[in-house]
Structure 1
Amino acid sequence: MQLDPAICSSARLARDRRFDGCFFTAVKTTGIFCRPICPARPPLEQNVIYYATAAEAANAGYRPCLRCRPDAAPGSPAWGLVSTTVQRALTLMRSEREAQSVETLAERLGVSSRYLRRLFAEHLGVSPLAVWQTERALFAFRLLRDTALPVADIAYEAGFNSLRRFNGVFKQIYQRTPSAVRREKSRREEVRREKREGVAASARGPVTRLYLDYRPPLDWSRLLDFFRARALKGVEQVEGEVYRRSFALEGFRGVMRVYDQGARNRLVVEVSGEGGGAALYLLNQRLRRLFDLDADTEEISAVLARDPLLAEQLQVSPGVRLPGAWDPFEYALRAILGQQISVAAATTIAGRLVARHGESFVDDEGETHHLFPTAGQLAGAGFDGLGLTRARAQTLREFVTATLEERVDFAEPQLEDWCRQVTALPGIGDWTAQYIAMRGLSMPDAFPASDLGILQALGTNGEKAKPKQALARAEHWRPWRAYGALLLWQSLKATDTAGDTK
Structure 2
Amino acid sequence: MKIDAAVCSSARLARDRRFDGRFYTAVKTTGIFCRPICPARPPLERNVTYFETAAEAANAGFRPCLRCRPDSAPGSPAWGLVSTTVQRALKLMRSEREPQSVERLAERLGVSSRYLRRLFSEHLGVSPLAVWQTERALFAFRLLRDTDLPIAEIAYESGFNSLRRFNGVFKQIYQRTPSEVRREGHSVRAETTSTTRVRLYLDYRPPLDWQQLLAFLGARALAGVEQVEGEVYSRSFELDACRGVMQVSHDPERNRLVVEIFGQEGGTGLYLLNQRLRRLFDLDADIEEIQTVLNEDPLLADQLAKNPGLRLPGAWDPFEYALRAILGQQISVAAATTIAGRIVARYGESFVDDSGKERFLFPTAEHLAEADFADIGLTRARMKTLREFVAATLDGRVSFADQSLEDWCTQATALPGIGDWTAHYIAMRGLSMPDAFPASDLGILQALGSDGEKAKPKEALARAEQWRPWRAYGAILLWQSLKSGE
Q: CA deviation at 1:142?
A: 0.2
Matched, 1:293 2:283: yes
Tell me what 1:49 maps to: 49
Structure 2 stretches lacking a partner, 5+ long: none
The equivalent of 2:364 in structure 1 is 374
Letter in 1 for 2:73: A
| Aligned-residue CA RMSD (Å) | 1.1
TM-score (norm 2): 0.98
- 8 Å CA contact 2:79–2:286 kept in 1: the answer is no
Q: Please give the alpha-carbon distance, in whole angstroms, between the structure 1 residues aligned to 2:197 and 2:173.
A: 29
CA offset digits 1:419-473 (Å, max 9, x no partner): 0000000000011000000000000000111111111111111111111111111
Q: Quick one: which amino acid aligns to residue 209 of structure 2?
A: D
Q: Secondary structure at the match of 1:375?
A: coil
Which position in structure 2 is the counterpart of 1:360? 350
Counterpart selection for 1:410 from 396, 400, 422? 400
Q: 2 CA distance for matches of 1:443 and 1:16?
A: 28
Contact 2:232/2:247, CA 8 A, preserved across alignment = yes
For residue 263 of structure 1, what is the aligned residue in structure 2?
253
1: CA distance, partners of 2:203 / 2:103 = 33
Superposed displacement of residue 112, structure 1? 1.2
Secondary structure of residue in 2 paired with 1:226: helix
Question: What is aligned with 2:467?
Answer: 477
Q: Corresponding residue for 2:93?
A: 93
- Aligned to 1:33, the other structure's residue is in SS state strand
The AA in structure 2 aligned to 1:292 is D
Partner of 2:335: 345
Identity of aligned residues (%): 79
* Residues 242-268 of structure 1 deviation map (CA, whole Å, 9 limit, x = unaligned): 001000011111000000000000000
Q: Distance in 2 between matches of 1:272 and 1:357?
A: 23
Q: 2:103 maps to what in 1?
A: 103
Bigger shift: residues 403-412 or 486-495: 403-412
Q: Secondary structure at the match of 2:49?
A: strand
Unaligned runs of 5+ in 1: none
- 2:145 paired with 1:127: no
8 Å CA contact 1:322–1:486 kept in 2: the answer is yes
Query: Aligned partner of 1:441: which letter?
Result: L
User: Which residues of 2 match residues 18-417 of structure 1 at below 5 A?
Assistant: 18-77=18-77, 80-187=80-187, 189-190=188-189, 194=191, 201-202=193-194, 205-274=195-264, 276-417=266-407
| Secondary structure class of the residue paired with 1:75 | coil
What amino acid is aligned across from residue 36 of structure 2 in structure 1? P
Give the total of aligned pairs: 486
Deviates more, 1:118-127 or 1:485-494: 118-127
Offset at residue 216 of structure 1 (A): 0.5
CA distance in 1, matches of 2:155, 2:266: 14
Distance of 2:391 and 2:259 partners within structure 1: 34
Shift in Å at residue 185 of structure 1? 1.3
Structure 1 position 446 matched with structure 2 position 436: yes
Residues 206/461 of structure 1: CA separation in 2 closer, same or farther (3 Å cut): closer
Following the alignment from structure 2 to structure 1, what is the Cα–Cα distance between the partners of residues 101 and 469? Answer: 31
Deviation digits for residues 192-247 of structure 1 (CA, Å, limit 9, x no counterpart) = xx4xxx6xx54xx2430000000110111110011110000000000100001000
In 2, Cα distance between equivalents of 1:46 and 1:439: 45
Letter in 2 for 1:53: T
CA distance in 1, matches of 2:397, 2:88: 18
Q: What is the SS of the residue equivalent to 1:40?
A: coil
C-alpha spacing 1:328/1:466, structure 2 compared with 1 (3 Å): same
Matched residues in 2 for 1:451 and 1:341: separation?
Answer: 12
Secondary structure, aligned partner of 1:215:
coil
- Alpha-carbon distance, 1:79 to partner: 5.5
The answer for the alignment partner of 2:420 in structure 1 is 430
Q: Distance in 1 between matches of 2:411 and 2:323?
A: 15
Which 4+ residue blocks in structure 1 deviate beyond 4 angstroms?
none
Q: Does the 8 Å CA contact 1:211/1:267 hold for their aligned counterparts?
A: yes
Tell me whether 244-253 or 268-277 shows the greater mean CA deviation.
268-277
The within-5 A match list for 1:10-21 is: 10-21=10-21
Matched residue of 1:21: which SS?
coil
By how many angstroms is 1:275 displaced? Answer: 5.1
Q: What CA distance in whole angstroms lies between the structure 2 residues aligned with 1:312 and 1:132?
A: 41
